[in-house]
């Protein structure tokens, strides 16, 4: 058996032993419905949260916070965000100040200690040996470069893990799959009997998802956000996405072209749309893994994210990199 298969068996055994259900949010049977009888997902949904993607190691096997722990955690994090905690400064040089960030002020309503629900330890599975090797090579090539800088000698296609967001190609939280991060954490859903559209506020990316159970497009035709196909499983909308062009902004570009996603959306109450994602990328992670994100209905509209208007940052990043490289060459010539 391969390491991936062995680890998959171990995860399944652990899940059975802990008996933690993947879908842990009960559904309200009185949710709004469309004229044709499907659950009504229309509107704007807010996915801000303080809950981390992975469970902190210090929490061990604690899957859910107590009410007292939630209150303490939220108070501590909100003090830090406001800049009142000297141990966690809110503003740093070279970044936006806190006025522009909008990370939310509460944990998810399920009170889970992580968004990851499978594996049961709330942690993303280990990288494959090949992915670890690739990550080490990237780190070595980018030694000394910050997140948005090109690798030494690199250009716009080598801007580090934030390259897609800096170039305004893909939002850093809009996916697929969607993950809480930073700001503009809203998605607007439109429905017809035959299609669902997911419009993200970040970089205004939109996915038009057919619901006719049609086949995915030719695998040789790849897109930055992949090819999505959906169907209804009872009152849950299941969206399967494949044919990724390459890595995306998901987890700072950790995934690759082999990423396959199964997203599930269930309106569990009038005000909550549960977003559940199973991530499967066999060349990156040893096993598939799943996270849940309860999204809250937002009565505000989605605004345009005019990413490229006045975007002098990209020019300045590259100009600064060229100046540093020239300074290094001049210093070496002096030594010679």
pLDDT for residue 317? 86
- Burial code of 229-244, b = ≥16 C-beta within 10 A, e = fewer? bbeeeebbbbbbbbbb
pLDDT for residue 93? 56
Nearest Cα neighbor of 39 from 201, 265, 223 is 265
4 neighbors 282 (Cβ within 8 angstroms): yes
Q: How far is it, in rounded angstroms, from Cα 87 to Cα 70? A: 20
207 neighbors 225 (Cβ within 8 angstroms): yes
pLDDT for residue 90? 53
249 neighbors 171 (Cβ within 8 angstroms): yes
pLDDT for residue 53? 97
pLDDT in single tens digits along all 336 residues of the chain: 444 433 433 333 333 333 344 344 556 668 899 999 999 999 999 999 999 999 999 999 999 999 999 999 999 888 766 654 444 455 555 567 777 788 889 999 999 999 999 999 999 999 999 999 999 998 998 888 888 888 888 888 888 877 888 888 888 899 899 999 989 999 999 999 999 999 999 988 899 999 998 999 898 999 999 999 999 999 999 999 999 999 998 998 899 999 999 999 999 999 999 999 999 999 999 999 999 999 999 999 998 888 877 777 888 888 988 998 888 888 888 877
pLDDT for residue 82? 61
pLDDT for residue 269? 94
Q: How far is it, in rounded angstroms, from Cα 196 to Cα 185? A: 19
Peptide bond into 119 cis (omega under 30): yes
Q: Taking the model in full, what pTM does it have?
A: 0.85
- For residue 252, give both structure tokens: 């700072």
């Amino acid at each position: 058996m391969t390491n991936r298969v062995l680890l998959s068996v171990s995860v399944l055994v652990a899940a059975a032993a802990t008996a933690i259900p993947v879908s842990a949010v009960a559904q309200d049977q009185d949710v709004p419905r469309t004229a044709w009888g499907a659950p009504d997902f229309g509107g704007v949904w807010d996915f801000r949260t303080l809950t981390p993607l992975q469970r902190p190691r210090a929490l061990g096997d604690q899957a859910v916070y107590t009410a007292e722990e939630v209150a303490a955690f939220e108070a501590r994090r909100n003090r830090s965000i406001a800049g009142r905690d000297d141990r966690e400064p809110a503003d740093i040089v070279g970044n936006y100040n806190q006025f522009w960030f909008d990370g939310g002020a509460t944990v998810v309503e399920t009170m889970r200690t992580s968004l990851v629900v499978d594996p049961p330890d709330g942690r993303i599975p280990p990288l494959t040996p090949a992915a670890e090797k690739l990550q080490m090579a990237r780190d070595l090539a980018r030694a000394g470069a910050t997140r948005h800088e090109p690798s030494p000698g690199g250009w716009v296609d080598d801007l580090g893990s934030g390259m897609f967001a800096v170039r305004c190609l893909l939002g850093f939280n809009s996916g697929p799959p969607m993950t809480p991060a930073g700001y503009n954490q809203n998605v607007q859903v439109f429905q017809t009997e035959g299609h669902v559209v997911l419009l993200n506020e970040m970089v205004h990316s939109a996915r038009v998802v057919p619901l006719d159970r049609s086949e995915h497009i030719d695998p040789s035709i790849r897109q930055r956000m992949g090819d999505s196909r959906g169907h209804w499983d009872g009152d849950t909308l299941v969206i399967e996405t494949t044919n990724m062009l390459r890595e995306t902004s998901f987890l700072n570009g950790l995934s690759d072209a082999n990423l396959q996603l199964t997203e599930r959306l269930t309106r569990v109450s009038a005000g909550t749309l549960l977003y559940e994602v199973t991530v499967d990328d066999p060349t990156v992670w040893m096993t598939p893994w799943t996270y849940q994100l309860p999204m809250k209905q937002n009565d505000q509209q989605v605004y345009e994210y005019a990413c490229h208007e006045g975007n002098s940052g990209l020019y300045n990043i590259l100009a600064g990199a060229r100046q540093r490289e020239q300074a290094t060459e001049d210093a070496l010539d002096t030594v010679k």
